[in-house]
């Protein structure tokens, strides 16, 4: 339910509180004083009765500044309370106004416990001592009424003070809880940002490393063919230009993710493995693609991660073993979906290759490991028997379904793609 006073300032709220308390106090006294007079408990003449009504109503005035200056408000309400005690000195009725209780509760909420308790005890002592002085001046018994006043005033004021302390404690707990929630939210946000930065860095690496590695190889081939075979050099330059355009398109796609928060082009997946193999062949790499079984329907994240790992494996082979044939295999027959990329190690580069099965590896291998971990797959990369470099990714096979695309999805690559081994 909406607070009807939520649009008011604190000063206007205090004014409404003071006015409401004054009206409530005045109405209550007008109803109860005649009844008490009939019982003989408050034998007040009309003048003293009118003065009591004025004092009780005026006691609500300090509520106008009880938030900003609670100590001054306490002094004011206690002074009025003492005047009421003097006025009711020959009465068996004890009156304590609502403003006194509200101000003492405010003291408990904003003041230190020791200092606030000292103020409350001072208020109790003032009321009790004034009553004792008045009774002694009238020649009446003092000890009993003072003890009664001490218990009554002390119990009422201490209870109000305790309520204020409890309210302040709960408010502080809520503040600390909100502060803790904000800190936890900041930590989660920082973690999400770091993860997003790693993901974007991986995308940039996959796009740039794959195409630029091919462009370097293609440029070297064009340089050798310029004098010997100009036509072949022209064809190589055209292929180089196409590779550069694909690189720019890939970079624009990644940058588009940063600008719009969503993909601007379809995300590559296993359906694009045949095209990946054809692109590698255009660079002079003998890639043989083999797909076994029917590839199940995969989540987009898993599909893209498998493609990117295959793409990075081809880039590594092109960089570290240029000219060596590559065997790319996707096995969907068993309980595990397996992606295998193998190529012979070039003798000149094999001892210097930074990627090892147990070591941290280069940037490409680190990105591959992050992608594998993100989809819950197991990745092995390193030298194998027979002088080959092997990348093997194994992923628990999801429920069987339709393939994600042609070629890799159908399990029957065409002759153009290399055919079955």
pLDDT for 380: 92
Question: Is the pLDDT confidence value at 43 over 80?
Answer: no
Instruction: Tally the C-alpha atoms within 13 A of residue 126's C-alpha that lie toward its C-beta.
Output: 18
pLDDT for 405: 39
What is the reported pTM? 0.46
Residue range 80-118, pLDDT digits in tens: 888 888 887 766 667 788 888 899 999 888 888 888 888
State percent of the chain over pLDDT 70: 74
Task: Look at residues 204, 211, 279, 280 and name the one whose alpha carbon lies nearest to residue 245.
Answer: 211
pLDDT for 340: 93
pLDDT for 343: 92
Residue range 255-266, pLDDT digits in tens: 665 555 554 455
State percent of the chain over pLDDT 90: 8
> Which of the residue ranges 66-75, 205-214, 325-334 would you say has the lowest mean pLDDT?
205-214
Residue range 194-217, pLDDT digits in tens: 776 676 666 666 666 656 666 766
pLDDT for 391: 93
Cα 191 from Cα 184, distance rounded (Å): 11
Question: Is the pLDDT confidence value at 356 over 80?
Answer: no
Please enumerate in sequence order all residues whose Cβ is within 8 A of that of 14, keeping only pairs 6 or more positions apart, or say none: 63, 64, 65, 66, 67
- Comparing 40 with 299, which gets the higher pLDDT? 299
pLDDT for 301: 79
Sign of CA dihedral 108, 111, 114, 120: negative
Sign of CA dihedral 384, 386, 392, 398: negative
Phi, psi of 88 (to 5 degrees): -100, 25
DSSP H or E run through 53:
helix 46-58
Question: Is the pLDDT confidence value at 224 over 80?
Answer: no
Give SS3 for 342: strand
Average pLDDT score over the chain: 77
What residues pair up with 292 in beta bridges, in sequence order?
A: 331
Task: Look at residues 383, 374, 328, 387 and name the one whose alpha carbon lies nearest to residue 355.
Answer: 383
CB atoms within 10 A of CB 148: 13
Residue 351's pLDDT band (boundaries 50, 70, 90)?
Answer: very low
pLDDT for 3: 47
- Comparing 76 with 257, which gets the higher pLDDT? 76
């Amino acid at each position: 339910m909406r607070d009807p006073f939520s649009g008011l300032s604190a000063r206007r709220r205090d004014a409404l509180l003071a006015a409401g308390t004054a009206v409530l106090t005045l109405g209550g006294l007008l109803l109860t004083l005649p009844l008490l007079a009939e019982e003989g408990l408050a034998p007040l003449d009309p003048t003293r009765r009118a003065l009591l009504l004025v004092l009780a109503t005026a006691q609500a005035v300090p509520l106008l500044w009880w938030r900003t200056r609670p100590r001054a408000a306490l002094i004011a309400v206690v002074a009025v309370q003492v005047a009421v005690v003097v006025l009711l000195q020959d009465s068996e009725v004890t009156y304590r106004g609502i403003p006194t209780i509200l101000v003492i509760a405010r003291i408990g909420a904003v003041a230190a416990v020791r200092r606030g308790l000292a103020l409350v005890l001072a208020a109790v002592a003032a009321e009790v001592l004034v009553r004792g002085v008045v009774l002694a001046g009238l020649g009446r018994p003092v000890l009993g009424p003072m003890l009664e006043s001490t218990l009554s005033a002390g119990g009422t004021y201490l209870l109000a003070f305790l309520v204020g302390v409890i309210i302040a404690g709960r408010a502080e707990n809520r503040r600390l809880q909100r502060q803790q929630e904000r800190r936890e939210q900041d930590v989660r946000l920082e973690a999400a940002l770091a993860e997003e930065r790693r993901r974007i860095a991986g995308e940039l690496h996959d796009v740039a490393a794959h195409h630029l590695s091919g462009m370097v190889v293609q440029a070297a081939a064009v340089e050798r063919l310029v004098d010997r075979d100009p036509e072949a050099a022209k064809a190589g330059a055209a292929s180089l230009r196409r590779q550069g355009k694909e690189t720019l398109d890939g970079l624009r796609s990644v940058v588009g993710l940063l600008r719009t928060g969503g993909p601007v082009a379809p995300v590559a997946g296993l359906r694009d493995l045949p095209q990946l193999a054809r692109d590698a062949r255009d660079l002079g790499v003998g890639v043989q693609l083999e797909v076994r079984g029917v590839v199940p329907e995969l989540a987009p994240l898993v599909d893209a991660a498998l493609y990117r790992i295959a793409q990075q494996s081809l880039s590594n082979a092109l960089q570290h073993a240029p000219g060596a044939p590559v065997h790319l295999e996707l096995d969907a027959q068993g309980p595990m979906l397996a992606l295998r990329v193998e190529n012979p190690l070039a003798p000149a580069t094999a001892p210097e290759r930074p990627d090892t099965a147990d070591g941290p590896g280069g940037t490409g291998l680190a990105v591959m490991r992050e992608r594998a971990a993100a989809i819950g797959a197991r990745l092995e990369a390193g030298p194998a028997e027979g002088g080959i470099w092997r990348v093997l990714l194994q992923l628990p096979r999801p429920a069987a379904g339709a393939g994600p695309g042609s070629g890799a999805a159908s399990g029957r690559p065409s002759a153009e793609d290399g055919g079955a081994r």
